[in-house]
Amino acid sequence: MSGLFSLEGRRAMVTGANTGIGQGIALALAAAGAEVLAVGRSSMAETEAAIRDTGGKVVALKADLARTASVAPMLDAAWETHGPIDILVNNAGIIRRAAALDFSEQDWDDVLDVNLKSVFLLSQAFARRVFAAERAGKIVNIASLMSFQGGIRIASYTAAKSGLAGLTRILANEWAAKGINVNAIAPGYIVTNNTEALRNDPERSADILKRIPAGRWGSAQDIGGTAVYLASDAANYVHGAILPVDGGWLAR
């Protein structure tokens, strides 16, 4: 690939790249020419094979982002071992479902740690490295429709994704003039492990599909192209944007 959307010669770290949206993004970035550092706590074998089968470059890195004290050291070690990182995609996330009255403190803390705290710590570690090396960089956060809406039975997830929207904006404000673009993608209802419970509920799934103008659930591949755009030179003047990729859900 050549031109504004090429990622040739760049290195991208993608968290939660073993499955779902993270895997789709990792494949898309690799297809655009980036070397992918695929981060996750589960086996990365499927992602590795898919990228290598198409001639792409990938390195699997084992990390549990719930252990927030290890987040920054993981990025530092990756930078030292594999070379400078140009793109950071903060995709890893978890979800817990329960009515607000029944929501446990543990479920609150677990989701906030992975979905928001680890994103800040990784972004901070990345920015420190980029600035120290006098380089430029791109951060792409994976937000959610819950960055705009409330939802039901997902209190900690909504809080984290709403916080992620604010974090995207404040980091863009502080870092845009220093050479880092910080933006976010807000996926709609995508076929992933996190949405399995919804898709398995015939009534809930039908209600969701009625609201989506595109008439279908999204796929991980639908998110990949947007990530390539935000990671590429085509988005050099895009800062603090939260771009919905939702089949038109928010337009209704």
Active-site positions read 157
Query: What is the CA angle 21-224-222, rounded to 5?
Result: 80
CA distances from 202 to 128, 166, 195, 198, 209 (A): 47, 34, 13, 8, 11
Q: Which residues, listed in sequence order, are joined to residue 50 by a DSSP beta bridge?
A: none
- Look-up: residue for tokens 């337009």? 251
Expressed in angstroms, the distance from the first to the final Cα of the chain is: 36
CA distance 119 to 166: 12
